[in-house]
Amino acid sequence: MEKRYDKSDLQAALKVLREGGVILYPTDTVWGIGCDATNAEAVARVYEVKKRVDSKAMLVLLDGAGKLQGYMDKVPETAWMLLEANEGQRPMTIIYPHARNLAPNLLAEDGSVGIRITSEPFSKALCEQLRRPIVSTSANISGEPAAKIFSEISPELLQAVDYVCEFRRNDTTKHQPSSIIKIDEKERITIIRP
């Protein structure tokens, strides 16, 4: 697996994100379609690219757990315990209740949002330098299988985005989607995907 990304690749992706564009990029799981998670117009474009109805929420990536507090009223205590227990394990997405400071069309009907803390170098650097969360939805047209490696991404999708990142295009490691856990207002846990 490629360990180092090219800084010019990162800067090109950041420029597109800052201008409200949509990118195709490697994440800590599968390849993702991304945009600035605070920009409703950019989020709407991601739904268009995926040919997906916007009543289906998308998750976002953050570069550190300390930034969670900026995107919800209160981080559930249960979430801190899950994050600590999962450190260094398989990537985990937690669906939090009562999200804020994100594009409204990104949230589920109940106001919740899925957030994953990424430790993968490229996506982490994107979040750090953009200083905002980034949408991360699988690189596929809605209803089709997620692309686990770059070569599985459809030509239609490659044409539909504003920038396709160079990093990890040659990586043939079949990455898996994250586990998904939902925490409600009463801190009850539901395992959506083990």
pLDDT in tens, 36-71: 999 999 999 999 999 887 767 899 999 999 999 999
Query: Average pLDDT in the 101-130 region?
Result: 95
Q: Does residue 139 or residue 3 have the better pLDDT?
A: 139
pLDDT-wise least confident of 32-36, 54-58, 176-180: 54-58
Q: Which of these, 117, 129, 118, 120, lies nearest to 7 by C-alpha position? A: 129
Instruction: Please report the pLDDT score of residue 55 as a whole number.
Output: 66
Average pLDDT over residues 87-95: 93
| 113 in Cβ contact with 83 (< 8 Å) | no
pTM above threshold 0.85 = yes
- R_g over Cα of the chain: 15
- Say what percent of the chain tops pLDDT 70: 97
pLDDT of 1 strictly over 60: no
Helices 7-18/121-130 angle, 10° precision: 50
Over 90: is that where the pLDDT of 154 sits?
yes
Dihedral angle over CA of 172, 34, 107, 92, nearest 10:
30
**pLDDT band of 155, cuts 50, 70, 90:** very high
d(CA 81, CA 104): 28
Between 24 and 143, whose confidence is greater? 24
Is the pLDDT confidence value at 2 over 70? Answer: no
Residue-level pLDDT at 148: 85
Half-sphere exposure of 147 (CA within 13 A, CB side): 28
Higher pLDDT, 103 or 142: 103
Question: Which residues have a Cβ under 8 Å from the Cβ of 22 and sit 6 or more positions away?
Answer: 16, 33, 34, 35, 42, 45, 46, 49, 160, 161, 162, 163
> What pLDDT does 131 receive?
97
Segment 9-38 mean pLDDT = 96
Confidence of residue 147 (pLDDT cuts 50, 70, 90): confident
